[in-house]
Structure 1
Amino acid sequence: MLQIFSKKSKYTAEEKELLQEIRMLDKLGGALLSKKSKIVEKHCKFLFDEVISKGGGRNELINIVLKYELLSMNSYGDWLTQAIDSHDMQSLNDVIFQEERYSLLPGGPSGFDHCWFAWPILDAIACGDYETFERRLPHELGLSKNGYPFYIHVTNMLMALWYQDEAMLHDALPRAEKFTTTKHIIWERAIVSFLCALSRHDILAMETALQTLCDHYNRRKSSRETHKEKETLCVNAYGLLMLAYRIAPEIKIKYPDSKNFIKEFADWRIQNKEPELKLYHTYPPEGDIFNKLLMAPVAIGRISQPYLNDKDYEKRIQNVWLVDGERMRDEFIRSLQS
């Protein structure tokens, strides 16, 4: 792999400027954790070659920032702790918003359809980023069918409830209710149970599900959710709570009694139905590209059948729908220019 790194000894002034910008973005983004300067430099030159090979313009630079995930959220735990300790609910909302927007940046391919977006969509609802729901899960995507069962049921119930689509609910609800009776992970079943209860406006069942979710949230085993900072705050509980109040504002739900649920934040969000959406951490001018990526309207959710009619694959694979990450990334980059 090292052979593809740039071996140029002389660069034009423009190339020097580009390489220096990539070095700076790589450092500011914090995605490459290695402290070995030679590895970091080879990584930056690889990215430089990638940009140059595609034309060397700003769009190409943004593309590699997204494709190779130069931006990270390695400081999320520190920011979350700072916001909680400050007792500033707007700051706490800012941290959730920044993590959600980071999670929804269009990157590489996924083996799932639009259910892949279920987790950050709950975070979007938690912080009041409602526009993002309809951009990332547009109604026309329909029911999810390909992915991790928990994600599928959450996505389908979310869409049926959000769009008040009785046909979708008629299909999704029985399947979701069946999922809650399985031996799947308890906190996953609790989230789906809440959504099922919300469809019936069953307040007691919603309260029970929220308490179960918070009680078991810190026992997660999935690699994406085992970061220690995720144990500090059960963001999913706020997503479910705010979804309920948005769909049925007349109801009143008892808060769960748990260390990972801050009741003051729930009160603040209910009082601030349309909170200001801003970043907790703003990058300096030299890293403003990160600010723009995080604050831009998220890429519209797209799915496709990349193997359709490809005889090299069995029929089941040919018919599968997957997130079209490349199209989403291209459309997102073009939208930044408008």
Structure 2
Amino acid sequence: MDKKELIKLYLQNVDKMFGYANMDAYIDERLKKYMKYCQSKKQEEQIIIWLKLLHENFGKKIVYLGSYLALQEKDMSYLNNAFNSAVTWGQLTITNSSCDHSIYAWNVLPHIFCANRFRDIENIFPKENGLSKNGLKSACSITNLVMYLYYQEPAWKQYVIEESKGFLQGKHTSEEMAVISTFLSLFEKDWEKFSLELANLCKAHKKSKDYGENPFTRKISFFAFGLYNFARYLYKEEAKNIILPQNEFLFEDFRIYQESNNYQTGQSFCVFEEPLLLLNDLEKIDLPIMHLTAGRKRTLDIENYRQEVIKKIQALHYNQSS
């Protein structure tokens, strides 16, 4: 499928995914929310309101708009910037859930990889949280594989390998199986298998029946591209042995763009004007670490996280005024 067809496909499906037809629509949606919920509210109240309102499907809608604009304008910086902002908003707006840090595995993690923001792994999967045991099986396995590969904690190795290999013995979606298989081949540094599994993941994503997927979103496997980036980050020169999937828009164009720009992270996808300046500030702060609650069945400590965000915004304004 050529780029013109992808552009057409986005516009045909944008309403179904409650997305944005252009950048003006992206800004207007925030202006409407400001006028309805934030006007006349104190700064602290506004922060909490924005964190609750701008969920954006874990930042995915920002990435989809960035993909569309990158294609339309023939400029991959739109997508690079979209990933950067999606990583930020995907973390800031995480909502209460009944699971642990595994909630990030299918949602925010692929964007972190694509954005080359690997230090953010320490925000969503801090070492002190330990391995994931409370969530979707595939998400727990992905979380634990990433934590071992990133931190190289010897005590985790056997558990993580056995958990992942055990997962592959069960019945799961082809996309789940492909992701876990790709991580395991990365674990083993088997580049031939890794290359094959990347291609399998792209094929599996095209058949995804997950909630929110549509004919446009199925065309691009952000997880596959992200896994390539993660391999390059971990193993540097060895990753040159990877053979990338053929005829994939993201692999052909976006990889070349990132390589030519030395894999720099993007800028803010949108710089807002009055009365939305607080949204710029939320993208400027160093994001807090997401800890877990105490107890047997640990979950994300959302309330403390939000209080940390408020403190960081207040500190930012104090530094700007001093």
TM-score normalised by the shorter chain: which range applies?
0.7 to 0.9
Change (3 A) 1:272 1:161: farther
- Of the candidates 122, 128, 147, which is equivalent to residue 159 of structure 1? 147
Relative to the length of structure 1, the TM-score reads 0.76
Of 280, 294, 304, 2:293 maps to 304
Larger CA Rg, structure 1 vs 2: 1
What residue is the counterpart of 1:69 in the other structure? 54
Structure 2 length as normaliser, TM-score?
A: 0.79
| Residue 290 of structure 1: how far off its partner (Å) | 1.5
Q: What's the counterpart of residue 137 of structure 2?
A: 149
Give the secondary structure class of the aligned counterpart of 1:326.
helix
Q: Which residue of 2 aligns with 1:326?
A: 303
Q: Aligned pair 1:93/2:80, yes or no?
A: yes
- Corresponding position: 1:188 with 2:165: no
Q: Do the aligned residues in 2 keep the contact of 1:302 with 1:323 (CA within 8 Å)?
A: yes
Q: Using the alignment, how far apart are the partners of 2:219 and 2:278 within structure 1?
A: 30
1:264 lines up with 2:253 in the alignment: yes
Structure 1 match to 2:320:
none
* Range that drifts further, 179-188 or 208-217: 179-188
Structure 2 gaps of 5+ residues are 1-25, 316-322
> 1 CA distance for matches of 2:154 and 2:184?
13
**Which residue in 2 is equivalent to 1:17?**
none
In structure 2, the partner of 1:127 is 115
Q: Is the contact made by 1:106 and 1:299 (CA closer than 8 Å) also made in structure 2?
A: no
AA partner of residue 331 (structure 1): E
Report the alpha carbon displacement of residue 228 of structure 1 after superposing the two structures with TM: 4.8
Q: Is the alpha carbon distance of 1:170 and 1:75 closer, same or farther for their aligned partners in structure 2, counting shifts above 3 Å?
A: closer
Alignment counterpart, residue 95 of structure 2, candidates 94, 105, 108: 108
Deviates more, 1:275-284 or 1:245-254: 275-284
Partner Cα distance (1:146, 1:59) in 2 = 32
Gaps of 5+ in 1: 1-24, 33-39, 309-318
What is the aligned-residue identity percentage?
A: 22
Taking a change above 3 Å as real, the CA distance of residues 190 and 174 of structure 1, as seen in their structure-2 partners, is same
Q: Tell me by how many angstroms 1:288 deviates.
A: 1.6
Q: Does structure 1 residue 170 correspond to structure 2 residue 147?
A: no
Equivalent residue pairs, number: 285
Q: What displacement does 1:282 show? A: 2.2
Distance 1:107 1:213, change over 3 A: closer
Cα displacement (A) at 1:186 = 0.8
CA 1:132–1:250 in structure 2 vs 1: closer, same or farther (change >3 Å)? Answer: same
Letter in 2 for 1:170: Q
8 Å contact from structure 2 (residues 117, 265) kept in 1: no
CA contact (8 A) 1:220 1:226 kept: yes
Match of 2:314 in 1: 337
| Distance in 2 (alpha carbons) for counterparts of 1:102 and 1:245 | 25
Aligned pair in 2 of structure 1 residues 137, 157: CA closer, same or farther (>3 Å)?
A: same
